[in-house]
C-alpha cells in the first residue's frame, strides 16, 4: 500500500512476518568510547537507576556514556580519565586512536559469528550520543571537522551481513548529541532538556536518517531517546515504509519541547512497530510486538573493567530468550567490540553457546508465536514456557528434570499425539493424568539449559 504522511495512514503498517519470526538479533555498540572502555561495575542499568538519577549518572554502568560521565565533576570516569590520560586529553583525542585501530577490523568475521550465534538480524549503532559517525556522511558535522570513522563501517558491515542472509538495521541517536550540547546529564531535569532542538541540528538529523535509508537500505530504524521536535516523523515514516514495506520502526521517537532549561511538554511517539524495554522483560504475553535489549554484561560499549562474573552465561541468556519469545518478544543482545573490532573472547563464547543450542532447538523458537499462555510448572515446581507453530506445541523446560518422568500441571493434549524431544530421534511415551501431562524422560538425556518437547497432533 502507499503510505501518506499522516497518523491514520502510518498506523495501517503491520509488523512483517520476518520480524515476528526472527526472535534473535545482535546489537553493536562500537565507537570512540571503545578506546577508554571504562565504566564503573557492580550494578546494571536497572539497579543503578534505583539508586537515584544523580547517583546513576555519576556512576553510569554504560561505557558508551563515557563522554557524559566524564563531564560530571567528581565522577569515577573523570577520575579515571585524568589519571590515565591527563586532564589535557579530550574525548576528541580518541579519534586518532580509534581510526588507527579500525584498520584491523574484519566485518566478514563479525557477520559469520552472528550467523553462527543464530541471530537473524543485526542492529548497528551508527551514531551514539557522543555524535561520532560510523559512516562518511555527505552531511558533515557543522562544528567538528573529521568527526567520523575513517572506514565506512555502516556500509562494509551491511554488505557482509546481507551476504549471509541476515537483516540489517540502524540505531541512531536522534535527540541527544553531546558534540552539540556540552552540558552533561546529571539528573532527571537535565536529561529531559538535554536533547538538541535547533533547526540546524534538526536538518542534520533528518539528512542522516534519509541518507541511511537511501544508501544502505535498512530493514530496521532504531531511534534512541527521542527526536528533535521539528523533525517530521510522519514524513520520514511514510517515506521509509513506501520504500521498504517490510521495514520496522521502534518506539523511541518521543519529542521533548523545552526552553531556557525548562521542559514545556513531552509528546509521545505517535506510532511504532515494537517497544524496546532495556535490561527488562515483560511478565505476560503482549499483544504488541516488543524487543528486549541488553548487553551480555552491564554495559553496551566494551567495558574493560567488567570481569567474567559481570557477564551472563549462554545458559542464562538462552533461558531469557525462551521466556521473551513465549511472550511475543525478540531479544536484541549487544556485543561491545574492542577498538580494533575484535569481539572479546568471553562475549564470543556466549554467542557460540547460544548458537549451539539454537542449532538443535531453534525449531521451537524461530517462526513460533505465543501460545494461549506463556508459563507453566511441573509437579516439582520446575519452570515451563510454551510456544507454538501452527498445530505444533513446544514445551520448554527451563530446569533439569527430576526423576524419570516429567509431570506438567494443567496441560491436556489431544489423544494419539506424538511427543518428541528436540535433538532425539525416538518418540517419548506419555500419558494424561486427568488435567496433567506426564512425559517419560529419555535415559540418555544430555544436559541442556532448556529442553524442548514438541507435541505433534495425530493428524500431522
CATH number at residue 334: 3.20.20.80
Predicted confidence band of residue 1 (pLDDT cuts 50, 70, 90) = confident
What are the contacts of 234-239 at 24+ separation with CB within 8 A?
Answer: 234/5, 234/6, 234/7, 234/10, 234/270, 235/5, 236/206, 236/209, 236/210, 237/3, 237/5, 237/10, 237/13, 237/271, 238/3, 238/4, 238/5, 238/6, 238/9, 238/10, 239/5, 239/210, 239/213
Residues 24, 155, single domain; the answer is: yes
Asked if the structure places residue 291 within a domain, the reply is yes
448 and 360 both lie in a single domain: no
Q: What is the pLDDT of residue 285?
A: 98
What average pLDDT does the segment 308-320 reach?
97
Give yes or no: residues 261 and 352 share one domain.
yes
Q: Tell me which of 313, 347, 364 is where a domain ends.
A: 364
Residue 63 scores a pLDDT above 70 = yes
Q: How many domains does the chain have?
A: 2
The answer to whether position 100 is within a domain reads: yes
User: What's the mean pLDDT when you consider all of the chain?
Assistant: 97
Task: Quick: pLDDT tens for 160-212.
Answer: 999 999 999 999 999 999 999 999 999 999 999 999 999 999 999 999 999 99
- Per residue in 413-436, pLDDT tens? 999 999 999 999 999 999 999 999
Does residue 422 lie within any of the structural domains? yes
Residue 132 lies in a domain: yes
Judged against a pLDDT cut of 80, whether residue 35 lies above it is answered with: yes
Based on the domain organization, do 337 and 385 belong to the same domain? no
pLDDT bucket at 444, cuts 50 / 70 / 90:
confident
Same domain, yes or no: 279 and 421 = no
Q: What is d(CA 114, CA 333) in angstroms, rounded to the nearest whole number?
A: 11
pTM of the model: 0.97
Residue pLDDT, tens place only, 115-165: 999 999 999 999 999 999 999 999 999 999 999 999 999 999 999 999 999
User: Is residue 460 over pLDDT 70?
Assistant: no
Question: How much of the chain, in percent, has pLDDT values that exceed 90?
Answer: 97
- Mean pLDDT throughout 398-422? 95
Lowest mean pLDDT among 49-53, 136-140, 354-358: 49-53
CA distance linking residue 61 with residue 117, whole number of Å = 26
* Domain membership flag for residue 2: no
In a shared domain, residues 373 and 356: no
Q: Cell numbers for 55, please give them.
A: 547517583
Domain that holds residue 447: 369-456
Of the residues 330, 348, 364, the one at which a domain ends: 364
For residue 234, being part of any structural domain is answered with yes
Reported as a pLDDT band with limits 50, 70 and 90, residue 260 is: confident
- Phi/psi zone of residue 134: left (φ > 0), alpha (ψ -120 to 50 degrees), beta? alpha
Same domain membership, residue 68 and residue 17: yes
- Residue 458 above 90 pLDDT? no
Q: Is 197 helix (H, G, I), strand (E, B) or coil?
A: coil
pLDDT recorded at residue 61: 97
Do both 309 and 167 map to the same domain?
yes
Res 244: pLDDT = 98
Separation between Cα atoms, residue 230 and residue 456, nearest integer Å = 54
Residues 30 and 157 in one domain: yes
CATH of residue 434: 2.60.40.1180
Residue 459 has pLDDT above 90, yes or no: no
Does residue 229 sit in the same domain as residue 348? yes
Residue where a domain stops, chosen among 337, 364, 391: 364
Same domain, 135 and 256: yes
Cα separation of 239 and 58, whole Å?
40
Q: Give mean pLDDT, residues 363-386.
A: 97
Q: Specify whether 256 is located in the same domain as 213.
A: yes
Residue pair 441/404 in contact by the 8 Å Cβ criterion = yes
**Mean pLDDT confidence for 386-412:** 96
The rounded distance, in Å, linking the Cα atoms of 457 and 355 is: 29
Amino acid at each position: 500500500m502507499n503510505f501518506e504522511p499522516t497518523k491514520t495512514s502510518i498506523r495501517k503498517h503491520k509488523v512483517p512476518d520476518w520480524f515476528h519470526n526472527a526472535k534473535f538479533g545482535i546489537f553493536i555498540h562500537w565507537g570512540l568510547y571503545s578506546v577508554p572502555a571504562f565504566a564503573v561495575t557492580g550494578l546494571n542499568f536497572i539497579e543503578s537507576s534505583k539508586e537515584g538519577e544523580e547517583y546513576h549518572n555519576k556512576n553510569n554502568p554504560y561505557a558508551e556514556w563515557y563522554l557524559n560521565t566524564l563531564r560530571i565533576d567528581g565522577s569515577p570516569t573523570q577520575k579515571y580519565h585524568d589519571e590515565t590520560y591527563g586532564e589535557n586529553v579530550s574525548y576528541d583525542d580518541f579519534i586518532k586512536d580509534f581510526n588507527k585501530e579500525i584498520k584491523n577490523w574484519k566485518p566478514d568475521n563479525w557477520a559469520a559469528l552472528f550467523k553462527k550465534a543464530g541471530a537473524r538480524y543485526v542492529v548497528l549503532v551508527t551514531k551514539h550520543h557522543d555524535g561520532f559517525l560510523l559512516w562518511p556522511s555527505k552531511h558533515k558535522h557543522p562544528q567538528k571537522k573529521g568527526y567520523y570513522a575513517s572506514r565506512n563501517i555502516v556500509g562494509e558491515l551491511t554488505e557482509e551481513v546481507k551476504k549471509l542472509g541476515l537483516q540489517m538495521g540502524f540505531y541512531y541517536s536522534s535527540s541527544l548529541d553531546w558534540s552539540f550540547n556540552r552540558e552533561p546529564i546529571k539528573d532527571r531535569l537535565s536529561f529531559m532538556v538535554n536533547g538538541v532542538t535547533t533547526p540546524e541540528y534538526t536538518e542534520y538529523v533528518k539528512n542522516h536518517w534519509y541518507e541511511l535509508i537511501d544508501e544502505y537500505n535498512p530493514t530496521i530504524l532504531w531511534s534512541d531517546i527521542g527526536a528533535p521536535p521539528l523533525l517530521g516523523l510522519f514524513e520520514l515514516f511514510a517515506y521509509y515504509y513506501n520504500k521498504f514495506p517490510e521495514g520496522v520502526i521502534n518506539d523511541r521517537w518521543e519529542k521533548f519541547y523545552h526552553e531556557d532549561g525548562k521542559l514545556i511538554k513531552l509528546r509521545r511517539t505517535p506510532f511504532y512497530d515494537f517497544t524496546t524495554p532495556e535490561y527488562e522483560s515483560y511478565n505476560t504475553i503482549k499483544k504488541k510486538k516488543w524487543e528486549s535489549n541488553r548487553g551480555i554484561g552491564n554495559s553496551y560499549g566494551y567495558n574493560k573493567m567488567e570481569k567474567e562474573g559481570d557477564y551472563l552465561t549462554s545458559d542464562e541468556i538462552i533461558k531469557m530468550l525462551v521466556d521473551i519469545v513465549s511472550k511475543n518478544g525478540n531479544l536484541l543482545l549487544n556485543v561491545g567490540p574492542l577498538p580494533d573490532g575484535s569481539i572479546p573472547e568471553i562475549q564470543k563464547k556466549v554467542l557460540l553457546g547460544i548458537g549451539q543450542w539454537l542449532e538443535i532447538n531453534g525449531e521451537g523458537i524461530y517462526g513460533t508465536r505465543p501460545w494461549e499462555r506463556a508459563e507453566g510448572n511441573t509437579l516439582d515446581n520446575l519452570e515451563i514456557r510454551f510456544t507454538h507453530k501452527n498445530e505444533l506445541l513446544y514445551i520448554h523446560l527451563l530446569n533439569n528434570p527430576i526423576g524419570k518422568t516429567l509431570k506438567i500441571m494443567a496441560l491436556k493434549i489431544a489423544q494419539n499425539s506424538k511427543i518428541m524431544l528436540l535433538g532425539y530421534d525416538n518418540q517419548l511415551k506419555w500419558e494424561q493424568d486427568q488435567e496433567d501431562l506426564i512425559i517419560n524422560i529419555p535415559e540418555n538425556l544430555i544436559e541442556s539449559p532448556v529442553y524442548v518437547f514438541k507435541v505433534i497432533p495425530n493428524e500431522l
